[in-house]
Amino acid sequence: MLHFRTILFLLCLSLSFCTCGQTSSGLTGGLNLSTLYGPDMVSAQWKKGFHAGFFVRHQFNYVAGLHTELLASTRGFIDLNGTRFQFIYASLPVLASLKLNRRTDLLFGPAPGLFIGGMQTEKGKEAAELMPALRRADLSLALGMLFRPNDRYHLGVRVNSGLFPVANGWNAQHLNAQLSLGIYLPQLPR
């Protein structure tokens, strides 16, 4: 419950910037490709998933800004036996934004996440709840690009690399590639 309150507080804080002219917000969503990497994951296959949520962008000056998102996303992997693992996370990337040119931004920063649930599906068997050893909190570093062809939407590509193991006693971190589309909401009149 404390994590939910923290995420809600940060979301309200980021939305409070919406009163100034250099702030925009909207809806975002797209595709994920995810796996785990590390010594305990020699040959995990990539798994397709999705992410959806909303974003707030605040431009401090012509060069620097802040890009914040609140997302629901699926991550996971497929092991050598064909067992599919799917994790569901709420994540709150807080990314610095540097303009490379008029329409392109470089994004980088932390992407904390909160494990909500997941499933493990073996070939020919019913889906089962994932083991309780998974960590509730996850922290990734994110690096990506944002391209704005016009003022109504943007296209993004980003890689999130986990900093800590996803479970106790299991030396493997998340690796997640995202392709997204963001649609800007109309700004409120002042």
Q: What's the CA gap between 110 and 82, in Å, rounded? A: 32
Is the pLDDT score of 127 beyond 50? yes
- pLDDT tens, 42-91? 667 888 899 999 999 999 988 999 999 999 998 888 777 777 878 888 99
Is the pLDDT score of 188 beyond 60? yes
In angstroms, what CA-CA distances link 13 with 8, 24, 58, 74, 154? 9, 14, 12, 25, 23
- The whole-number pLDDT of residue 20 equals 45
- The whole-number pLDDT of residue 115 equals 86
Task: Strands of 45-152 (E only): list them.
Answer: 47-59, 64-78, 84-91, 94-99, 104-121, 128-129, 137-147
Q: What's the CA gap between 90 and 138, in Å, rounded? A: 10
Is the pLDDT score of 155 beyond 90? yes
Is the pLDDT score of 124 beyond 70? no
Say which CATH class 2-184 falls into.
mainly beta
106 with 95: CB under 8 angstroms?
no
Domain map (residue ranges) of the chain: 2-184
Torsion from C-alpha of 40, 120, 7, 95, nearest 10 degrees: 50
Sign for the CA dihedral angle at 182, 51, 135, 47 comes to negative
Least confident of 15-19, 39-43, 146-150, 160-164: 15-19
- pLDDT tens, 83-121? 787 888 899 999 999 999 999 999 999 999 988 887 777
pTM of the model: 0.80
- pLDDT tens, 159-182? 999 888 877 777 888 889 999 999
